[in-house]
Amino acid sequence: MNTLELLKKAEPIFKEIDKLASEGKFSALMDLIDRAEPPTEWIIELPSKIESGASYKTIPLDLMEAAVRRIFGGSRIIDTSLTISQDKGKFAVTAIVKYGYPFISKEGISQLVGVATVCTSDIAMMELTSPKAVSMAVKNAIKQLGGLFGKYLNRIEEAEFAIEELPKANLEDKIDTLEECLNNCKTIDELKTYRKIVSSKSISPHIQGIYENKLRELKATKND
């Protein structure tokens, strides 16, 4: 089934939500979203990347976002920040996403904040790691709306896209922001290891500008 067909499976819940919205019962509306269970057709089961032989239940991101738009009339990522961690040759990207939707009572934009970390031991994989971290952060943000969006599908939350588990010991002492990583590069070759990350659509023009400025600076230094 495509996304539109899957949305129709939740039409009875959507009609209840529409009725509460028309009556101005916004607290009851949010309670209904929290109590509701997603249609069984929405749920997919994926193998766990953390526990061998285990699995977890989730809802596809495109379907979650479509349901948010159906209920609230729209949604968008307002802001994204990425932090790169490095420990003993392993890398991790932590994404913090502010996800906004027009609150149904027309009181303005409401925001949900989602956080997710994806790890890898290969710097070449960072091109894929960053978008996955952002997608997972968006899912974690939307889940906060409640049961209809899969908040209670799994008692134990796990990283849906984890590639490897990064050691936690002293990790806070090793965390650098992407901006700091770029500014700390000493050679052009070192800087270019971040090129695929910086080129990602999830990276802000500000960070891309820092990359270009640092590249020009290192080239000028090399030519001196």
Q: Which residue range is the domain that position 91 belongs to?
A: 3-176
Structural domain includes residue 201: no
**Coarse DSSP helix, strand, coil percentages of the chain, rounded to the nearest 5 percent:** 45, 20, 30
Mean pLDDT for 149-169 is: 57
Q: Token match 């989730």: residue?
A: 58
Q: Is residue 214 part of a domain?
A: no
In a domain, 209, yes or no: no
Domain-embedded: residue 220: no
Q: Is residue 186 part of a domain?
A: no
The winner for highest mean pLDDT among 129-138, 143-152, 209-218 is: 143-152
- pLDDT, tens digit, for every residue of 35-65? 999 999 999 988 876 667 778 889 999 999 9
- What's the confidence (pLDDT) of residue 50? 64
Domain at 98, CATH number: 3.30.390.80
Q: What's the domain count of the chain?
A: 1
Phi/psi for 77 (5° steps) reads: -80, 120
One-letter identity of residue 30: M
* DSSP state, residue 44: E
189 domain residue, yes or no: no
Please give the pLDDT value at position 105.
60
| Residue 55, domain member (yes or no) | yes
Per-residue pLDDT of 163-212, as tens digits, reads 444 344 333 333 346 677 788 788 887 787 777 677 765 566 777 888 88
Whether residue 42 contacts residue 6, with contact meaning beta carbons closer than 8 Å, is answered with yes
Nearest CA to 193 out of 130, 146, 124 is that of: 124
